[in-house]
Amino acid sequence: MANSPAAASHEHHIVPTSTYFGTLIALIVLMVITVAVAQFQIPDIGPLTGTVLNQLVALIIAGIKAFLVVTIFMGVKWQTPLTKLWAVTGFVWFTLMFIIMGDYLTRKYEPLASWRPNQETALPRTIHGGTPMPMVDPNEANLHPRE
């Protein structure tokens, strides 16, 4: 059985130590770039503020680092196409779940008809000038959390 063609095609790939050290150096350089970008305030470009651009750069660098770890250290680079498909599917699923949970968590209160006749919805209100309304007893509030 060890001499069969199926067993020969599933041998373990031996990665040179230089590949691991090169990847480690790349990860360290990317970490230093991430820290440097976090210390530097990128100027506003059009509608994008510098803070948003800093976060985008940090997320792109984090994605590159995750790609290096998965492909080299976890060995997906030398695996079968099915393993590569499952690795990509996991990242796609995580991204979709992140977007769905972000959308769900930002919709804590649904607009409902108010119990009070002078308000059209049950969403939290602010007093003129932008100050929030004082806290009310939850039993008396006109907010209905989603169940």
Q: Give 8-27 pLDDT, tens digit per residue.
A: 566 778 889 999 999 999 99
Residue 111 lies in a domain: no
More confident residue, 112 or 46: 46
Residue 20 lies in a domain: yes
Residue 39 lies in a domain: yes
Residue 139 lies in a domain: no
Question: What is the rounded distance in angstroms from the CA atom of residue 49 to the CA atom of residue 63?
Answer: 21
Q: What is the pLDDT of residue 104?
A: 74
Rounded to a whole number of angstroms, the distance between the first and last alpha carbons of the chain is: 58
Residue 55 lies in a domain: yes
pLDDT, tens digit, for every residue of 43-102? 888 888 878 888 889 999 999 999 999 999 999 999 999 999 999 999 899 889 988 888
Residue 88 lies in a domain: yes
CB 65 within 8 A of CB 50: no
In angstroms, what CA-CA distances link 102 with 43, 124, 128, 144?
27, 20, 30, 20
Give this prediction's pTM: 0.60
Q: What is the pLDDT of residue 83?
A: 93
Query: How many folded domains does the chain comprise?
Result: 1
Hey, what are 15's tokens? 């990665």
Which range of residues forms the domain containing residue 90? 16-105
Residue 136 lies in a domain: no
Residue 34 lies in a domain: yes
